[in-house]
Structure 1
Amino acid sequence: MQIELLDTFLDLIETRNFNKTAERLGVTQSTVSSRIRSLESILEKQLFIRNKSGTEPTVAGIRFADHAKAVKLRWLDARREIEAVGKFDRLIRIGIHFELYERVLEPWLEWVRNAIPKLAIYVEIDYSNQMILDLTTGGLDLAVLYSPQHLPDIHYEQIAEENFVMVSTSRLSMSEVRPSNYIRANYSPFFDRAHKQMLPELEISPISMGNGGAIAHLLRRKGGTAFVSQSVAAALQREGVVHLVQDAPTISQPIYSAVHIRYRHSHTHIRLLKALKPTTV
């Protein structure tokens, strides 16, 4: 199967528009149509329905989407591994949670370059649920995340904790924090439960977000009050953007490593995990 057929199919799943997909891929609309027809011929199933309201995937198209993503991922992995022949002994695919990569990535990769110079690293920044799915399908070899799902093929180990503190662009105490100017952070199910228990009066707020970078951006541009990680809080304080809400509680979020059980006793994976701990403590 030609890989451009999968590229075209996956792009059309996203855009639901033949013309937009043609523009994004730099081909003609007739080329997009031809590729989809070729894929439908190979699979012997109709993948899309075109009508006045637009383009929609069929049931077969929806079911094929996950398989297409997996095939595309394996193809990219194969290309990277072939390109690395002679340069590196092995490729390891690592997933790191969005809130952790600034804290983990630089010191850990520096250790890898010095300690295992023939190891190639591919890094994906993502959320916990997607990383766990990628571990089960083979898309990732190791992940650092907030929210484990206890699946039989995945081994977890708590390696550290991330502390989240409340900051505000005004000098406030807890008694002065109001839902109207509060950005409700939701970094993980664990964080969500802790917030509900500690601060039920702030559960209903006009804005709720799950990305620390986006929350920091809003604090810089619009102001307000929110929970951010200690490292983000320190950076915002250095910029003069926020102040700590001194009497607010701290929410401690466990950090986990995750590997597929087939790699649990791999010497390389064990070394990588041991090296991760100092960067996350």
Structure 2
Amino acid sequence: MQIELLDTFIDLIETRNFNRTAERLGVTQSTVSSRIRSLETLLEKQLFIRNKSGTEPTVAGIRFEEHARAVKLRWLDARREIQSVGKFDRLIRIGIQHELYERVLEAWLEWVRATMPKLAIYVEIDYSNQMILDLTTGSLDLAVLYSPQHLPDMHYEQIAEESFLMVSTRRVALSEITPSDYIRANYSAYFNRAHKQMLPELENSPVSTGNGGAVAYLLRSRGGTAFVTETVATKLRQEGVVQTVADAPKISHPIYSAVHVRHHHSHTHIRLLKALKLMAA
């Protein structure tokens, strides 16, 4: 199967428009149509229905999407690994939670380069649920995350704790903060439970986000009050953007390493996980 067929199928799933997919891929509409027909011939199933309201995937198309994305990912992984032959002995793919990479990535990569120079590293910044899925499919080899899911064949270990601090662009005490001025961070189910228990009066904020980068951006651009990681809080204070709300509670959050059991006893993975534990501490 040509990888272009999968690229075209995945793009059309996203756009639901043959013209838009042709523009995004830099090909003609007839080429998009030809590729979809070729894929349908290979699968012996119709994948899309075109009507006056647009293009919609069939049941077969919906079911095929997950497989198409998995095959494309496998292809990209294979190409990266083959290209590294002769330069490196092995490629390890690691996922890191969005809010954690600034804390662990730089020092950990320096350690890897110094102690395991023949090891190539691919880093994916993502959320816990997706990283766990990628570990089960083999798209990732190990991960550092907030929210473990206790699935068969997954091994987790708590390696550190994250501290979330309330910061504000204004000199305020906790009692002066109102929901209208508050950016409600949504980092994980664990964080949400702690926040709801400690600060029920700030649960109904008009602005909320689950991305730490977005929280920092909003604080810089429009001001307000929010919980951020201790690493981000330090950076924002150094920039002169925020101050810590001194009388606000701190929310402590466990950090976990995750690895599929097929790699649990791998010497390379054990060394990498020990180093991650040191960097995250």
Q: TM-score, normalised by structure 1?
A: 0.99
**1:203-226 deviations in Å (ceiling 9; x for gaps):** 101011111111111111111110
Return the alpha-carbon distance in structure 1 between the equivalents of residues 236 and 156 of structure 2: 32
1:84 match: 84
Q: Which runs of 5+ in 1 are unaligned?
A: none
Map of 1:275 onto structure 2: 275
Q: How does 1:111-190 map to 2 (within 5 A)?
A: 111-190=111-190
Trace 1:242-261 onto structure 2 (pairs within 5 A).
Answer: 242-261=242-261
Corresponding letter in the other structure for 1:207:
V
In structure 2, the partner of 1:202 is 202
Aligned to 1:93: 93
- Percentage of pairs with the same residue: 80
Letter of the structure 2 residue corresponding to residue 7 of structure 1? D
Q: Distance in 2 between matches of 1:240 and 1:87?
A: 44
Compute the TM-score of the two structures, normalised by the length of structure 2. 0.99
CA distance in 2, matches of 1:112, 1:38: 45
Q: Please give the secondary structure, in 1, of the residue aligned with 2:55.
A: strand
After TM superposition, give the deviation of residue 279 of structure 1 in Å.
Answer: 1.2
AA at the equivalent of 1:213: G
Offset at residue 129 of structure 1 (A) = 0.2
Equivalent position SS for 2:170: coil
Partner of 1:69: 69
Deviates more, 1:46-55 or 1:249-258: 46-55
SS at 1:265's partner residue? coil
Deviation per residue, 1:157-208 (Å, 9 max, x gap): 0000110000111111111010011000000010011001111111101011
Shift of 1:62: 0.9
Distance 1:244 1:146 in 2: 23
d(CA) in 1 for partners of 2:122, 2:219 = 32
Q: Does 1:232 align with 2:232?
A: yes
Q: CA deviation at 1:57?
A: 1.0
1:153 Cα deviation from its structure 2 partner: 1.1
CA offset at residue 15 of structure 1?
Answer: 1.1
Number of matched pairs: 281
Question: SS state of the match for residue 227, structure 1?
Answer: strand
Equivalents in 2 of 1:177, 1:2: separation in Å? 57
Long gaps (5+) in structure 2: none
